[in-house]
Structure 1
Amino acid sequence: MALRWFHAAERRSPAAVAADADLLARVADGDGSALRELYERYARPMFAFLYRLAGDRGTAEEILQDTLLAVWRSAGTYQNRSRVSTWLFGVARRQAHNRLRGIPPPLPADPADGAAPEAGPEELAVSGDQVQQTLKRLPLAQREVVVLAYLDDLGLKEIAEILDIPVGTVKSRLHHARATLRRYVDARME
C-alpha cells in the first residue's frame, strides 16, 4: 500500500540522480520542457502525498500546480545538498502546509456540483474513506509525519530531511499523532 517511489529514488543509479539534478538546473535556466519532464517523473507520487494531506482530490491537484509554480520560480535555489526527489517533496510539503495551515481539509465534493463521484486511481491507492477520515482528525504537522512514516514508509531521518525539522521533532509528532489516533479509535469502539 505504501508508496515506494521515494525508496526507488534512493536506489537510483548515480547517473539517474545526476540527470534529475541536470533537469532541475535546466528548469532554473527557464527550460519549460525540463519542468514538464520533472512533472512526468514525480507528479504521481507527489499527488498521492498531497491527496493524503489534503483529503480532497481537487485541493491536492491545486497544491500540485502550486508546487510546480514554486519549483519553476525557485529551481535556482537548489543547492544539491539532497536528492532532487527529496527537494521536490519538500517543496510540495511546504505548498500543502501553506494552503492547509489552520484550515480543515475540505469535505468531499457534493455530486450536485458536477464533481466526478468515483475515486481516481491515486485515491483508491490510499485506501479509502476510513483512512482519510481518520487522517483529517490530525493537525497538519502530525498528519505529515504519519503519511510519510506509515503510508509512504519513510524513515525518521528521511522525514526530518523532507520536513526540514530535527529527528526528535519527527518522533514527538509521531508520538502525539499515535496518541490522538488511539483516542479516536478507542472512542469509536465504545
Structure 2
Amino acid sequence: MDGGNQTIALRWFGVAGRRSRAQERDALVLARVADGDASALTELYERYAGPLFAFLYRLAGDRGTAEEILQDTLLAVWRSAGTYRSRSTVSTWLFGVARRQAHNRLRGLPPPLPAEPPDGAEVVDGLPGPEELAVGGDRVQAALARLPLAQREVVVLAFLNDLSHREIADVLGIPVGTVKSRLHHARTTLRGCLDERMA
C-alpha cells in the first residue's frame, strides 16, 4: 500500500473507530436511562436534541409543535429505553422513537404551512440542497409541506440529518428499496413544486 492510500486508510479507520466508540458510549448511556438514571437522559438530550428537533420541525412545520413532539420523544425514550436491543445505533433508534411520536401527533392533520425563513437565508434556483434544507427558506418549507408525510420524512432524514439509506430504512422500519422509491418520488414532487414557484 503506498503512502497516500495508507494515510487515507488510517484516517478512515480513525473515523470509524471514533464512531464505534461514540456508539458504544451512547449504548451505555441508554442502558443507564433504562436503569432510571435521569442524568443519562439529560446527557442523551444534550447530544441529540438539535438533530431531533431539526427533523421534527421539518415534519411538523411549526416550532411549538416540534418542541412538544421532542418532549413526547424524551418521555417515550425514558419509558422504553429498556427495549433497545442494539440492532441499530442509538441515534437511529432515537430517530425512530421521534418519528413514531411525530406520526402520533400529526396523523390526520393538514400539511404544515410554510415557515418564515431565518434572517439572511438565501434562496437559490433549482432543487434545494442539504444546506438550503437546513436553513429552511420559505420556498423549501412550502415545497416540503406539499410532500406526503412518508416522503417528507425520508427527505429530511437523508438531506438534513445525513442518514444513509440503510439507516433511514431502520428508522422507518421499511426496506431500503422503499426508501429509494420515496426519495425518487419526493424529488419529482419537489422539482414540480419549485418549477411552479419560479414560473
TM-score of the superposed pair, with normalisation by structure 1? 0.80
Once the two structures are overlaid, the 10-residue window that deviates more, 151-160 or 131-140, is: 151-160
C-alpha spacing 1:12/1:52, structure 2 compared with 1 (3 Å): farther
* Offset, 1:106: 4.5
Verify the 8 A CA contact 1:48 1:126 in the aligned structure 2.
Answer: no
Counterpart position of 1:136: 145
Counterpart position of 1:155: 164
Partners of 1:66 and 1:131 lie apart in 2 by 26
Which has the larger Rg? 2
Partners of 1:164 and 1:11 lie apart in 2 by 27
C-alpha spacing 1:14/1:108, structure 2 compared with 1 (3 Å): closer
1:77-156 equivalent positions in 2, closer than 5 A:
77-107=83-113, 125-156=134-165
Counterpart of 2:55, as a letter, is: F
Once the two structures are overlaid, the 10-residue window that deviates more, 78-87 or 152-161, is: 152-161
Q: Counterpart of 1:136 in 2: which secondary structure? A: helix
Verify the 8 A CA contact 1:143 1:177 in the aligned structure 2.
Answer: yes
Counterpart position of 2:69: 63
Verify the 8 A CA contact 1:56 1:105 in the aligned structure 2.
Answer: no
Counterpart position of 2:47: 41
1:22-33 equivalent positions in 2, closer than 5 A:
22-33=28-39
Q: Counterpart of 2:158 in 1: which secondary structure? A: helix
Give the share of equivalent positions with the same residue, in percent: 76
Counterpart position of 1:72: 78
Highest RCO, 1 vs 2 (Cα 8 Å, sep ≥ 6): 1
Superposed CA RMSD in Å reads 2.6
Q: Counterpart of 1:103 in 2: which secondary structure? A: coil
Counterpart of 1:156, as a letter, is: H
Partners of 1:64 and 1:10 lie apart in 2 by 29
Partners of 2:16 and 2:105 lie apart in 1 by 28
Count, aligned residues: 173
Partners of 1:172 and 1:144 lie apart in 2 by 13
TM-score of the superposed pair, with normalisation by structure 2? 0.77
